[in-house]
Amino acid sequence: MKEIKVLEGNVVAKEGMKVGIVAARFNEIIVNKLLGGAVDGLVRHGVSDDNITAAWVPGAFEIPITAAKMANSGKYDAVICVGAVIRGDTTHYDYVCNEVSKGVAQVGLQSGIPVLFGVITTENIEQAIARAGSKAGNKGYDCALSAIEMVNLLEQM
């Protein structure tokens, strides 16, 4: 097979990389762990903590508008969104999840910078705990590495 050109971003942060994080305060006990995981992942892979800015919003539904403000400010190379939406007794969960996921994706497409979806959407608190730094890892940490990779990839295009 002929040799083809393959583009791939590594997970070493470029010099001076700036990251915004939007964190939803609802289920704060979970989201604090996601935020900490994101910061840990960023710093361990070369982002200076001086170049990380987090903004707290009331709930996941407020993430997209805040992510859009950050993404379009020109101040950040990437934006990470973290939150925890846990199903309750009504269909409210479905509406929140749908709008947050669509909204975050739209911000990335519209702004042209990587906007990472680190909002866990679970049936119960146990599933959320598992994804916020226990047996299923930390979605915030995962998003940190993906943010670095995507910044490095898009800069090659």
Ligand X SMILES: CC(=O)[C@@H](O)COP(=O)(O)O
Binding residue numbers for 5-amino-6-(D-ribitylamino)uracil: 26, 60-62, 84-86, 117
Q: One-letter amino acid identity for 136?
A: A
Encoded one letter per residue, x for contact with ligand X by CB under 6 A and - for no contact, window 62-91 reads: -----------------------xx-xxx-
Closer residue to ligand X (CB): 56 or 93? 93
Gyration radius of the chain over CA positions = 16
Is 92 in the active site? yes
C-beta of residue 93 within 8 angstroms of C-beta of residue 99? no
The single residue of 75, 92, 98, 105 carrying the catalytic annotation is 92
Work out whether 93 is an interface residue with ligand X (CB under 6 A).
yes
Q: Which residue has the closest beta carbon to ligand X? A: 88
Closer residue to ligand X (CB): 90 or 156? 90
Phi, psi (rounded to 5 degrees) for 2: -65, 150
- For residues 36 and 157, give the distance between their C-alpha atoms in angstroms, rounded to a whole number: 31
Query: Minimum Å distance from CB 86 to ligand X?
Result: 6
Tokens 């930390």, located at residue: 138
SS3 85: strand
Total of chain residues touching ligand X, rule CB under 6 A: 8
Instruction: Give the H or E element holding residue 121.
Output: strand 115-122
Query: Minimum Å distance from CB 9 to ligand X?
Result: 33
CA-wise closest residue to 38 among 70, 78, 86, 80: 80
Picked from ligand LW54GNZ2, ligand X, none, the partner binding residue 62 (CB below 5 to 8 A depending on kind) is ligand LW54GNZ2
- For residues 100 and 118, give the distance between their C-alpha atoms in angstroms, rounded to a whole number: 11
Closer residue to ligand LW54GNZ2 (CB): 113 or 128? 128
Q: Which residues are catalytic?
A: 92
**Interface positions with ligand X (CB under 6 A):** 85-86, 88-90, 92-93, 96
